[in-house]
Amino acid sequence: MSTAYGFKELEADIRSVLSRTGDFRTIVDEVRPFLQTLLQSDELLPERYQQPLPHKYAQYLLYKPEDEAFSVIAFVWGPGQVAPVHDHLVWGLVGIYKGAVEEKRYRRVDHGEAAPRRYTLEEVGTVHATKGDISFVYPPDYDIHGVSNPHSEVAVTIHVYGADIGKQERHIHDPATGALRDVVTKHDNDVPIYADV
Ligand SMILES: [Fe+2]
């Protein structure tokens, strides 16, 4: 990538934040402008990676440092493709690089062991995010959402997480029952697109 602000600069900026704070809200607030700058690069995601997969959204690892202190991932959403309601268990930011997506946010409500349903998911709102918009997640209270591309155009989103999200053990939630199941969502590429920066 031949832009002034590349992954080396991003890494230095993120490490500077992480050296000062472990507070998730502060981290996402401070990393947000870095992602905003990254999103402005027209060459961030090579064209061949911007083609949707036929059966599911595509998940491409762009960059991660050796210690996996964070990762940058591109998601490519074909028309109608959906990520079921899920959590992350780590801080993260989601920036829209191309097109638009719909994000439905949830909060998990604990009704106690005696309740017929221990947990339910409470819907807290839906955001229609378009190019340049940035959303965030962090556990435990801002961590659950579902994402979809209800439009006829391909959407590309760029995500930054405080771990390698392709290895992260997390959950898919059933909004109807509050039940959850374990999941690891692996990347669709074996080698990061920017492995040698
Ligand atoms: Fe997510």
Residue 126: give its domain's CATH number.
2.60.120.10
Q: Is residue 153 part of a domain?
A: yes
Name the strand (E) or helix (H) holding 2.
none
Across the range 134-150, mean pLDDT stands at 96
Q: Is residue 41 part of a domain?
A: no
Please count the structural domains in the chain.
1
Tokens representing 123? 């819907």
Where residue 3 falls among pLDDT bands split at 50, 70, 90? low
CA 37 – ligand 1 centroid, Å: 21
CA 114 – ligand 1 centroid, Å: 31
Q: Is residue 44 part of a domain?
A: no
Residues sharing a CB contact under 8 Å with residue 110, sequence separation 6 or more, in sequence order? 118, 119
Q: Is residue 64 part of a domain?
A: yes
Q: Is residue 30 part of a domain?
A: no
Q: Is residue 65 part of a domain?
A: yes
Distances (CA, A) of 59 to 48, 125, 190, 192, 196: 13, 25, 11, 11, 19
pLDDT digits (tens, 9 = 90+) for 144-182: 999 999 999 999 999 999 999 999 999 999 998 888 999
Q: Is residue 120 part of a domain?
A: yes
Q: Mean pLDDT, the chain, as a whole number?
A: 94
User: What is the extent of the structural domain holding 96?
Assistant: 56-183
Burial of 5: CB neighbours in 10 Å, binned 0-12, 13-18, 19+: middle
Q: Is residue 69 part of a domain?
A: yes
CA 58 – ligand 1 centroid, Å: 13
CA 155 – ligand 1 centroid, Å: 15
Residue 116's pLDDT is what? 84
Region class of 147: left (phi > 0), else alpha (psi between -120 and 50), else beta: beta
Across the range 83-112, mean pLDDT stands at 96
pLDDT digits (tens, 9 = 90+) for 43-52: 999 999 999 9
CA 111 – ligand 1 centroid, Å: 25
